[in-house]
Amino acid sequence: MPILAKIKTWLDAEQEIVLPRSPIATAITYAQNQWQALTTYTTQGFLNIDNNASERALKRVV
C-alpha cells in the first residue's frame, strides 16, 4: 500500500530527529511496534479494527 509505505518512511525519519522521551517519540514507537498488526489489518478485509466485541464478551464472564 503506497500510503502506508509513505507513513512508514515518515515514522522512520522522524524517529531519528525527535527527542527520545517526547510524546511524539512515544507515539512513533507505538506505531512502529503495531506496524505488523496494521499492515495485516489493511490486507484482511474481514478483520475488525478494534476488539470491543471480545471485551464485551469477557465482561459477562468477569
pLDDT at residue 57 tops 90: no
- Provide the residue ranges of all domains of the chain, joining segments of one domain with +: 2-61
pLDDT in tens, 10-40: 999 999 999 999 999 999 999 999 999 889 8
- Cβ proximity of 11 and 28 under 8 Å: yes
- Cβ proximity of 38 and 21 under 8 Å: no
The pLDDT-based confidence of 6 (bands split at 50, 70, 90) is very high
HSE toward the beta carbon, residue 5, CA cutoff 13 A: 2
